Amino acid sequence: MWGVDFQDAVLRPLAERLCRVDGVVGVTLGGSRARCTHTAESDYDLGVYYRGTLDTDGLTALAQEWAGAGTTATRTGEWGPWVDGGAWLSCDGRAVDWLYRDLDRVTAVWRDAQQGVYGFHAQTGHPFGFADFAYAGELASAVILADPSGQLGEFRTDMQHYPDALRDALVRRGLWEAEFVTVLARKAIPRADTTYVAGCLFRAVCLCAHALHAHARRWLISEKGAVAAAGALPNAPADFSARAHAVLGRLGTTPDELSAALTLAERLVADTRDACPLT
């Protein structure tokens, strides 16, 4: 009950105030709190959706009103190209994060996703790469706290349907790339280049997780928890999570050790392909 009380007593009024700041279109509760997979220590992630020029000075003033004089909101773009800014607040002793989302960009990404066009982009905090279609997954699973124009609600309804074209692309292209990076990793084994092999196999495992989610028409938003989530899917290969962690957990530093880890990865990719048939 405490979480519901906090949401209604603190987050919804905060969201309504955010919508009075120039540029803000609506506010959502996302992350583990929205998906009900949170722990007691989990932050509250608020998606602050905006169009055009965002009044970040106004956001800083509001942040200080709610969380104290030392609190600031960033300019747009300060955190990177895809998670472009926000603020870290403490409200009633609870961590509340604001994450900016440019609604025009979300719209463009959604159009691409419906055509099977996607990308994984360099972004601080996302070692695999920020999946642009995560914008759609975020809205699809979010709790809308404030949406005066109704735009977020309309998008959220559309994004409940996982696009067939995106599903096919993440399975076909994604698993092709997973196989390709394991070939590249083999070339580094004679040099015992553990770091390079680790990078290749991390990418292969994440691509498998994305393919499994896409095949099951489930949105995958981040690398965090991706392997465990993929392993829990009904279409996942047997012991997927344990096998994926084993690939990266026992790499070693000698050519023989690296070769053994790579063999595990190759089998995992092959089994993932078998688990994701497309007509």
Task: Kindly give the pairing relationship between strand 94-102 and strand 44-50.
Answer: parallel
Helices 103-114 & 151-158, crossing angle to 10 degrees? Answer: 20
Model pTM score: 0.93
Q: Tokens standing for 208?
A: 């498998």
pLDDT along the chain (279 residues), means of 10: 67 95 96 73 90 97 93 95 93 89 97 98 94 96 95 96 98 98 97 97 98 97 93 97 95 96 98 95
Position 250 scores a pLDDT of 87
Please count the other Cβ atoms lying within 10 Å of the Cβ belonging to residue 31: 23
CA distance 21 to 123: 27
Residues pairing with 102 in the sheet: 50
Distance from chain centroid for Cα 69? 31
Contact assessment for residue 146 and residue 18, using Cβ atoms and an 8 Å cutoff: yes
Position 4 scores a pLDDT of 58
Position 1 scores a pLDDT of 33
Residue 53 buriedness (CB in 10 A; 0-12 / 13-18 / 19+): exposed
84 φ/ψ sector (left φ>0, alpha ψ -120 to 50, else beta):
alpha
Position 48 scores a pLDDT of 98
CA distance 246 to 59: 45
Residues 6 or more apart whose CB falls under 8 angstroms from that of 132 comprise 82, 109, 112, 113, 118, 119, 120, 121
Residues 6 or more apart whose CB falls under 8 angstroms from that of 131 comprise 118, 119, 120, 137, 210, 220, 221, 222
Please count the other Cβ atoms lying within 10 Å of the Cβ belonging to residue 197: 30
Handedness of CA 31, 34, 40, 43 (dihedral sign): positive
CA distance 235 to 251: 27
CA distance 23 to 41: 31
